[in-house]
């Protein structure tokens, strides 16, 4: 039977994070870093179970999500603090080095870990995420922003709704992130959101990360120094970073001096046609 344990980890600014470990601690550690305003339960249970066959898998709730401390309005913080939290989780569990996987904003945090803590990473995987900015990237024309329909939906983040209205809002959000190519099962996502609400103890839609200070992220020029084995998983039709972001990511990495397919130092990039942001 797979070993699953829950604990809490104290991090900076008086926050406490909910952390779950799955599998054998003797195996290589694998830290899963979820996206903005998302509980660690966003990582599917069956994925965690499969990964735990060969790794000690760690997923956790960011600040102001899930069972972690919710206190942004009293104790605001910059987004980059969430990268420090990831290191604090590893420290608390006694993990010297780990494979790290980041989804969406989690992928942005993983890029900061690549720059600030390369010795702690066995490998890095970034998917559904834009590259951090900065540097003198060639062809840095104005890239399109997220799908306007998403922007409209995001304006409703944090609004008070009853449970059913909030559930339907979240399903609409998932449907938009899923796109039109792959099948979408609203009941699957409804079940996920009900579980997250039960886990969190509230149906309130978290919005702290959308309000957090974004400064200190313009470090793209430093990517040339990265030597940790890295995989970028790219969904060219992602509605958050729509085309031509995929091509621009390739140009930026190549300009940064990363060698190999799609400009990666010791790994590769995968284009997942048909996938969007789920």
Is 204 within the bounds of a domain? no
Q: Assess contact for 239 and 246: CB atoms under 8 A.
A: no
Residue 63 tokens, joined: 């600040």
Whether residue 180 is contained in a domain is answered as: no
**What CA–CA distance (Å, rounded) separates 271 from 238?**
11
Domain that residue 77 falls in:
4-144+213-271
CATH of the domain at 95: 3.40.50.1820
Spatial CA neighbour of 122 closest among 86, 97, 88: 97
For 195, which DSSP code? H
pTM above 0.85, yes or no: yes
**277: in domain:** no
Asked if the structure places residue 136 within a domain, the reply is: yes
The predicted structure's pLDDT at residue 50: 97
The pLDDT value given to residue 259? 46
Q: Which residues contact 34 (CB under 8 A, 6 or more apart)?
A: 40, 42, 43, 59, 62, 65, 103, 104, 106
Asked if 40 and 64 touch (Cβ cutoff 8 Å), the reply is no
Taking CA atoms, 29 is separated from 6, 82, 94, 120, 227, in Å, by: 16, 19, 10, 11, 19
Are 224 and 131 spatial neighbours (Cβ–Cβ below 8 Å)? no
Q: What is the pLDDT of residue 246?
A: 57
| Per-residue pLDDT tens listing for the chain (278 residues) | 689 999 999 999 999 999 999 999 999 999 999 999 999 999 999 999 999 999 999 999 999 999 999 999 999 999 999 999 999 999 999 999 999 999 999 999 999 999 999 999 999 998 888 778 755 554 445 677 788 888 898 888 878 899 999 999 999 999 988 877 778 899 999 999 999 999 999 998 888 999 999 988 888 778 777 888 888 887 777 788 776 665 666 555 555 554 443 444 444 555 555 555 45
Residue 41 resides in a domain: yes
Domain count, the chain: 1
Give the integer Cα–Cα distance in Å for 87 and 2. 25
In a domain, 244, yes or no: yes
Structure confidence at residue 227 (pLDDT): 85
For 113, the enclosing helix (H) or strand (E) is helix 105-116
| Phi, psi of 11, rounded to the nearest 5 degrees | -125, -170
């Amino acid at each position: 039977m797979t070993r699953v344990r829950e604990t809490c980890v104290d991090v900076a600014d008086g926050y406490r994070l909910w952390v779950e470990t799955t599998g054998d601690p003797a195996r290589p550690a694998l830290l899963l870093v979820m996206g903005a305003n998302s509980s660690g339960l966003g990582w599917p249970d069956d994925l965690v179970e499969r990964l735990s066959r060969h790794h000690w898998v760690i997923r956790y709730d960011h600040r102001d999500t899930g069972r972690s401390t919710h206190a942004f309005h009293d104790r605001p913080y910059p987004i980059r603090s969430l990268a420090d939290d990831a290191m604090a989780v590893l420290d608390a569990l006694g993990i010297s080095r780990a494979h790290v996987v980041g989804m969406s904003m989690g992928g942005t945090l993983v890029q900061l870990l690549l720059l600030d803590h390369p010795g702690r990473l066995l490998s890095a995987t970034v998917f559904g995420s834009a590259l951090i900015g900065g540097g003198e990237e060639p062809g840095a024309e104005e890239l399109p922003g997220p799908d306007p329909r998403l922007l409209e939906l995001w304006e409703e983040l944090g609004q008070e709704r009853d449970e059913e209205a909030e559930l339907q809002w979240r399903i609409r959000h998932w449907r938009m992130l899923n796109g039109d190519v792959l099948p979408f099962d609203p009941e699957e996502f409804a079940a996920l959101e009900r579980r997250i609400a039960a886990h969190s103890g509230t149906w309130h839609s978290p919005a702290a990360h959308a309000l957090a200070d974004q400064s200190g992220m313009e470090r793209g020029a430093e990517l040339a120094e990265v030597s940790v084995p890295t995989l970028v998983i790219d969904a060219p039709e992602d509605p958050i970073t729509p085309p031509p972001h995929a091509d621009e990511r390739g140009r930026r990495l190549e300009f940064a001096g990363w060698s190999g397919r799609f400009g990666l130092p010791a790994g590769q990039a995968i284009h997942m046609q048909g996938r969007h942001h789920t």
